[in-house]
């Protein structure tokens, strides 16, 4: 018994790291993580240190915060190869449909960023055209592939090697990736993947930070923008579209591999309904 206790004390703490990507239902996922872990969940907001020192800062922060079981950050350094017992978690959203949500959010928020200032001055077509420029942060320009491959320079052109590397990293055993379009299914997959390390995990949720723009199709806004801005948007997101499709196909395969998935999904939705 004493030997087992000694071994357990030597093991490093396992932590869930939520890469909270802008306008990808991350606030709802954070709500569920906080509900499960309480004070053991941290919504990390010291962006300057996270950006400046990356994984070293993150590792030191967690070493000094033994009670933390899950941490979320908008500037999480995605490094699943890092030799720590971290469970990396993120959601991808269909990249073109995400654009309208990004614009609406930036147009509403206080002028605290360049994007919010420009969104207030421009209509959606103008905003998209501006965002496609090389000297503008690539918030809606193959955003996912750039993040996953740590390509910070918005002038760098994305290629097929980048998308292959991005998908390889998402396929590592310590990475949990879901899709916004199948949010409930993603939460069930996450729970199944985490339950051995985190038996208490329960990702039932109440939707948070819901946008005001409602439509039957998230792509309907393409009919309302200029052909030039539409062509620019599609051209500069072709790799994100491919990546999202690859992840969606992988998600279908994972669902097929989980025994009794339909029953687990129904039970999950019952848990969600009980919270409303």
Residue 37 within any structural domain of the chain: yes
Mean pLDDT of the chain: 93
Convert the pLDDT of each residue in 209-225 to its tens digit: 776 545 568 899 999 99
Return the closest-CA partner of residue 275 out of 34, 95, 94. 34
On the question of pLDDT at 10 being above 80, the answer is no
5 domain residue, yes or no: no
Number of domains in the chain: 1
Predicted local confidence at residue 100, as pLDDT: 96
Residue 183 lies in a domain: yes
| Structural domain contains residue 2 | no
Output 90 or 111, whichever has higher pLDDT: 90
Rounded to two decimals, the pTM is 0.92
CA-atom Rg of the chain in angstroms: 20
Residue 232, sorted as left (phi over 0), alpha (psi -120 to 50) or beta, turns out to be: alpha
The answer to whether residue 228 sits within a structural domain is yes
pLDDT score, position 214: 55
Residue 1 inside a domain? The answer is no
pLDDT digits (tens, 9 = 90+) for 140-179: 999 999 999 999 999 999 999 999 999 999 999 999 999 9
pLDDT class of 230 with cuts at 50, 70, 90? very high
- 4 located within any domain: no
Structure confidence at residue 7 (pLDDT): 36
Q: Residue 44: which domain range?
A: 10-273
Query: Is residue 81 domain-resident?
Result: yes
Q: Any idea what the CATH number is for the domain that residue 35 is in?
A: 3.40.50.300
Residue 206 confidence (pLDDT) above 80? yes
Number of H helices, E strands in the chain: 12, 5
State percent of the chain over pLDDT 90: 87
């Amino acid at each position: 018994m004493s030997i087992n206790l000694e071994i357990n004390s030597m093991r490093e703490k396992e932590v869930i790291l939520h890469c909270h990507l802008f306008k990808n239902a991350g606030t709802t996922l954070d709500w569920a993580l906080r509900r499960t872990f309480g004070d053991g969940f941290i919504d990390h907001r010291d962006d300057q240190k996270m950006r400046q020192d990356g994984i070293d800062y993150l590792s030191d922060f967690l070493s000094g915060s033994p009670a933390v079981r899950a941490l979320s950050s908008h500037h999480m350094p995605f490094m699943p190869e890092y030799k720590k017992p971290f469970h990396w978690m993120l959601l991808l959203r269909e990249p073109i449909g995400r654009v309208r949500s990004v614009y609406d959010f930036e147009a509403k928020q206080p002028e605290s960023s360049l994007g919010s200032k420009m969104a207030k001055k421009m209509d959606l077509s103008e905003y998209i055209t501006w965002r496609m420029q090389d000297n503008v942060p690539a918030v809606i320009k193959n955003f996912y592939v750039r993040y996953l491959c740590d390509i910070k320079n918005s002038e760098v052109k994305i290629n097929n090697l980048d998308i292959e590397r991005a998908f390889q990293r998402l396929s590592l055993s310590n990475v949990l990736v879901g899709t916004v379009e199948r949010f409930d299914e993603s939460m069930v997959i996450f729970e199944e993947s985490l339950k051995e390390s985190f038996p208490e995990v329960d990702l039932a949720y109440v939707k948070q930070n819901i946008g005001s723009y409602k439509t039957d199709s998230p792509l309907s806004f393409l009919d309302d923008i200029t052909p030039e801005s539409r062509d620019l948007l599609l051209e500069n997101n072709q790799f994100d579209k491919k990546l999202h499709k690859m992840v969606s196909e992988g998600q279908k395969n994972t669902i097929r591999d989980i025994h009794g998935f339909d029953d687990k999904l129904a039970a999950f939705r019952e848990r969600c309904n009980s919270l409303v």
